[in-house]
Amino acid sequence: MRHIISVLVENKFGALNRVSSMFSARGYNINSISIGETETPDVSRMTIVTEGDEKIIDQIIKQLNRLIDVIKVIDLTNTKMVARELLLISVFCQKGTRSEIVDICEIFQGKVVDITHNTMSLEITGPPEKIDAAIDLLLPYGIKEIARSGTVAMKRGDK
């Protein structure tokens, strides 16, 4: 099963490597990993999307906790959370298809960020499934390039 794990780490060189090499050394998958600063400059948040059965996820969380640079590990999968991904996609276009592509972009509440005679680049954010759906709809026009940020996620506030 797919899990979204949020990991707070000390913002030190090597911390990302410690985490990613733990995954590779123990044979765990990383579907995506994203990392950035948090409200505290010396703390970074990694959002890791991984797959595995209950036993593997349990080990992943324990092994992450074992790393000295790791401050906190939260499995967000079964919690109330917000998960978002950023997509930058460059699509081939011609006179006739340009407006169709803009329509699709608008439906996904995206933005056109670059345009040439034969390509358009779009910026779309949303939950990973929405990103998948957008790519699926843009596929017929011909895709030149895709850049996905990987999922970033956080818990929703308690009410």
Partner 1 sequence: MKGNKKPKLKGAQIFFEALRKEGVKHIFGYPGGATLYIYEHLYDIEDIQHILVRHEQGATHMAEGYAKASGKPGVVLVTSGPGATNTVTGIADAYMDSVPIVVFTGQVPTSLIGNDAFQEADICGITRPITKHNFLVKDVEELALTIKKAFYIATTGKPGPVVVDIPKNVSNSYAEFEYPETIELKTYKPVYHGHPNQIKKAAEAIKNHKKPLLYVGGGVVMSEGASEQLFKLATKLNIPVTMTLQGLGAFPGDHELSLGMLGMHGTYYANKAITDCDLLIAVGARFDDRVTGKLDTFSRHSYKIHIDIDPSTIDKNVKVNLPIVGDSKNILEELNKYIDFTIDTSEWLKQIDEWKKECPLAYTKGDGKLRTEYVIDVLSNLTKGEAIIVPDVGQHQMWVAQFYKFKYPRTFITSGGLGTMGFSVPAAIGAAFAVKDKPVISISGDGGFQMNIQELITAAYYKIPVKFFIINNGYLGMVRQWQELFHSEKYSFTNLQTINPDFVKVSEAMGVKALRCDNVDCVEDVIKQALEYNEGPITVEFRVVKEDMVYPMVPAGASVSDMIVKRLNPERMV
Smallest gap from residue 69 Cβ to partner 1 (A): 6
Distance of CA 84 to the CA centre of its chain: 7
Least distance (Å) from partner 1 to the CB of residue 29? 17
Q: Which is nearer to partner 1, 9 or 76 (CB)?
A: 9
> Which lies closer to partner 1 via its Cβ, residue 33 or residue 70?
70
For the chain, how many helices (H) and strands (E)?
Answer: 4, 9
Residues that bind partner 1 (CB under 8 A): 10, 13-14, 17-18, 21-22, 25, 55, 58-59, 62-63, 65-66, 68-71
d(CA 44, CA 16): 10
In the complex with partner 1, the residue whose CB is nearer, 69 or 123, is 69
Least distance in angstroms from the C-beta of 63 to partner 1: 6
DSSP 54: H
Rounded CA-CA distance 88/106 in Å is: 14
Q: Please report how close the Cβ of residue 37 comes to partner 1 at its closest, in angstroms.
A: 17
Could you give the CA distance from residue 32 to residue 152 in angstroms, rounded to a whole number?
A: 10
